[in-house]
Structures are given as structure tokens and as C-alpha cells.
Chain A
Amino acid sequence: MATEHTLAEAIIAGHTGDRAGAGSICRARVDFAFANDITAPPAIKEFGRIGAEKMFDPGRTAIVADHFTPNKDIASANNAKQCRAFAKKMDMRFWETGRCGVEHAFLPEQGLVLPGDLVVGADSHTCTGGALGAFATGMGSTDLAVAWALGEVWLRVPETIRVDYSGSRSPWVTGKDLILDLIGRIGVDGARYMALEIAGGAIDALPLDDRLTMANMAIEAGGKAGLFIPDGTTLAYAAARAERPFKPAYPDAGARYARRIEIDVTALEPVVALPHLPDRVKKAGECGELRIDQAFIGSCTNGRLRDLALAAAVLKGRTVHPDLRLIVIPASYEVYNESMKRGYIQTFLDAGAVVTTPSCGPCLGGHLGILASGERCLSTSNRNFVGRMGAADSEVVLAGPLVAAAGAVLGRVADPRELLGDDPAALGGI
């Protein structure tokens, strides 16, 4: 029996009385369990079928109404109304539009996803919480209903792929470029059923917002979780926000990994993922005349403060291409307010962008920027599947905030250095 744990195994071991070696199935306690306005209604129905009368611990449960809010139509308004009433009846955490955000940006800000936690969410991008050193994983509505009722889930303990990043990252390369590059290397099913454990000297120097971007897209490689080892950056962030005690976990030196990948970031360049899979990765500067009709900067992947800071650095004193719409959506009210104070919002408006209230918005083709037939969007979101943002024959090209902002000015997919020159001083040290 292996006693040397990967980070995923170490966290699960701390939440179960069962064996927590890779491949075994165990029952594990959850620290936090949430759904959104799309996945909560079926979860509420299943919760009723279980016959549970209360949440296992109301303060550790939440519904985040972020996908179709502010409500886009009567059906979504009715669903949100049901969520609100149920959350109130069960004494769960619930935040009204105006005080909320995109769940995977908002919940860590609220100190509800913490190092060492085991978190389940009825949303596939729940894996974002791995940036804080939590084992956070997405599930469906029925699983979530059971987690709400019992405070536990069954889990198959995943094998882990360890990825070590070394070298010195160019300021033009963001967390989005790192994760797209990794998905391009291992494929959209390269980590299927597995955990990614991301570490190394180049990660120590990576800002937390970029780590959240990377963990967010573990699912795009099929991953169950994408974990970062807690360090000073993580612990300072969590300690400043946590309402409850937390216990960070760490991998053992002798842990067994299913695979090890080593990547030197020094030579990496800004990249994009072409339609219609996130592993169709190409250097942004090598896409030829790939015209775009819309650019979107936001989502649970890239709607955080550093993302908007980078986009604002590109757009300062420039204007959006006349044939194109740029949509900017801060992922939470904290991000929105801070962006306002720092002048980013004014920069976006001056450039000719539209800035809208925190929501998942166009990422999943919900609202606030649906694509027409034949249109192409350069987007900082996470999925470029067929029909993801609108018409079945529309296209999504995935990119980080620098590439998306530069593309919004140029009207096509390009390396941001084409617009700003090679000197990273143009980014103002962000």
C-alpha cells in the first residue's frame, strides 16, 4: 500500500476513512458543495427525491446564479426564482445579481474554496479551485444533490500527471498560454479521469490569477482536478479571506505519478486554440489572415483583475477595430470595482468596447454576445466546441487576454507584439 501521496491523494486521504490510493473508490467528506442557476434546478429535484430535509451544513453549501443572469428570458428568470427560494428555505449561501460573480472567480474571492479543501460543484470548471491547493472537481446535479444531503461523495481516487515548469517566462506569455500549450501537448483526453499536479520554479513565479486560469482548464484535457501546491502566495490570499480554519496539504517527495512532463517555459510564445477543440493549439503569430467579428474578454477562465489589467495595457490609447465588437465582462464585482478604481473600465470604454455586468454571458452561448451564422470570436473563455457561442457554423478561437485585446484592435488573430513591439515595458510591469 502506497503511503507516499500525490497532492490529490493527500487531500482525499484527509477526507476519508477509506484507502485513498490511486484507483480505489472511497467515500469522502466535502468541505463545500455548490451549483449554479443551470445545474441547481435538477439538483433541487433530486434533493427532493432523496427525501432530505436539510443541507448537511448550510454554510458549506451555495447556489451561484451566474450563467443566465441578469436573467435573459422568462424561463431563466423562473429557474433563478426557484434557486433563490430553495437557497433561502435551506439557509444556503446565495448572492443577488450585483453582489455576485462567475462562480469559479467569485467563490475563491469569498474565501469559500481553501487550501486542502475537498470541494464539489455542479459545474465542470469547479477544478479552478485547484489553484489554491484544493481538490475541487465538477459533477452533475444528482451527485451534487447527494453531496448537499450527506456531506459526502463517492470518488475514484485519480492517478496524477505531474507537470514541472522550469525556466523564465516571457511577460508576453500568460497562464492561458501555458495551459493551452499543455493541452496541445497531451490532447483533450490526455488527463482523462486523472489529476494534473502543476509545479516547478516557473510556477512559483506565476501570479495566482494565472494559476486559476490554468487550473480552470484542467477539464479541457479531461482532468478531474488541476492542483497547485500551496505556497506563500496561496496561503496569504486564503488567510486574508477565509472565514473558517483550513489545513493545506502537500504531496510527498516519494509520490507515484502516472506520468511526468517537464516543460521549459523560456521559449514559449503566445498561442491560441483553433476551432473546434482546445487542443488545436497554434502560435498566435502564425495564424495568417484569421479575421474576427467579435472578441470576448471575461469568463471563469480569464475575467480576473490581472486579465483585465493586461487587456487594458493593450487597449490604452488604442481603439477597437471598426468592423468588430469587443465585449469585456469582469468575472466578479470585486474585479469590476477594482478595475473601475484603476481606470481599466474607462480604458475599455474609450477604446470602444462594451463592458457588462459579471455573468458567464457569451462563453456558453447564453447571452450578451451570441454569434451569428459564419461569425468568428476570439475569446478568453475555455471551450471552442461546435456551436458553443452561438450558431452551429460560428467559430471560437481561444486565447489569453493579451492576444484577445490585440486581436480586437487589429481585427484578426495576431501575436500581441505585432501591435505593441517586443519591449515588455509596453505592459507596464503587469
Chain B
Amino acid sequence: MEKMITGRVWVYGDNVDTDVIIPARHLTLVEPKDLARHCMEDIDKSFAAGVEPGDIVAGGANFGCGSSREHAPLALLGSGVSAVVAANFARIFFRNAVNVGLPIVECPGLTGHVKKGDVLAIDVDAGTVNNRTTGESFSSEPFPPFLKDLINSGGLVEYAKRRLRGEA
């Protein structure tokens, strides 16, 4: 994961579910770029057309609730989203994001202190999220050590390769 992530932000509320991140009618698609064309379309038609590489998505509580579709973090990655910041994440989305390499940051303090178009600077190692537009700064939750190791050693697939060879 990048140590510093800076980008313009799209803001959504609590309980952003995977059905709105990528509606099931598009789940015959597999490639991130194809999924990205429909990302968020049921709650924000402007997202797919307006999102730019490096943009950040901010949500409230329980981001990514619902279905286990890995297509949801893939659709965000395919959109060029550099990170998702939320008060907290639904469990399966959390795992999927880690597994596909979508940076996610839990930052409960940011909720209510960010609006669409603000610029956020996320310092993953320091555990801070800075709203450069307002000047406010918030602390974020660190990953547990096990997950940090998993991410730093190349993700779950690399871990599984080593485990198959008896090296992990």
C-alpha cells in the first residue's frame, strides 16, 4: 500500500452497499475497467463519468455491506479510486479490499467533516487523514499486525503461493 495517498473526494453516507457500488445486473463482467463504467450508478450517475484517477471515496458507517462480490472493490479500483475512507467497513468488503489491493482506511472522525470535492491526504503509516481543504486532521485506525504483514508481503495470493511451497 502507498504510504501517502492524496486525492479529491466523493462523499457518500452510511451503509453504502455492494449492490449500489456495482449492481448485480453487471456481474457477468469481470474486468475492473468494464465494471467501472457502472460503479455507483444507482445512487450517483455522475460518478462513473466524473471520477478521475487518484480520487478518494469517503463513506460513513458499514461501508460495503451486503453481498460478497469482489466485483465491488474491483469496480472502485477500475475507476481509478486510490483509497476508500469510511467510519468503518462491513467485514467481507474489508477482506476483499485487502485482497485485491484497494487501500481502505477506517477514520470515524472524518464523518461530517468532509464534502464532495475536498482534497484529502492520507498518511497510512502515521495513521492520519488530513482534509487539506478545511485544514482539519483526524486519526485513523491502524491495521492489525497480521494484516500489515499480509499486505506488505504482497497480499493474500503471494502468501498462498509461499504457503503452498511450505515457506509460510
Contact = CB atoms under 8 A, between A and B. Distances in A.
Interface stretch (A72-80, A92-100, A174-182): A72-80
Contacts of A124: 66-68, 92
Given A124-B92, A192-B90, A193-B91, A386 B20 contact: yes
Interface in B27-44: 27-30, 41-43
Interface stretch (A57-65, A136-144, A344-352, A399-407): A136-144
A189 interface: yes
A387 B23 contact: yes
Nearest to A383: B66
Given A46-B157, A50-B160, A124-B92, A142 B70 contact: yes
A192 B62 contact: yes
A427 interface: no
Contact of A75 (B20, B28, B88): B28
A123 B68 contact: yes
Interface in A194-236: 219, 222, 224
A140 B19 contact: no
Nearest to A149: B160
Interface stretch (A37-45, A110-118, A257-265, A282-290): A37-45
Contacts, number: 134
A25 B91 contact: no
Contact of A383 (B19, B23, B28): B19
Interface in A143-157: 143, 145-146, 149-150, 154, 156
- Indicate the size class of the contact surface on chain A: 35 or more
B157 A50 contact: yes
B28 A385 contact: no
B3 interface: no
A4 B108 CA distance: 33
B62 A140 contact: no
B118 interface: no
A364 B67 contact: yes
Contacts of B88: 189, 192
Interface of A: 25, 38-39, 41-42, 45-46, 49-52, 67-68, 73, 75-76, 79, 122-124, 126, 138-143, 145-146, 149-150, 154, 156, 188-189, 192-193, 219, 222, 224, 277, 364-366, 383, 385-388, 392
8 contacts: A25-B146, A38-B27, A42-B30, A126-B68, A138-B68, A139-B68, A385-B19, A386-B42
Given A51-B161, A388-B24, 20 more contacts: A25-B144, A38-B24, A42-B70, A42-B71, A45-B30, A126-B68, A140-B96, A189-B62, A189-B88, A192-B88, A192-B91, A365-B19, A383-B17, A385-B66, A386-B17, A386-B42, A387-B19, A387-B20, A387-B23, A392-B41
Top 9 A-B residue pairs of the complex, sorted by shortest distance between their CB atoms: A75-B28, A387-B42, A140-B96, A140-B70, A142-B99, A189-B62, A392-B42, A364-B24, A124-B68
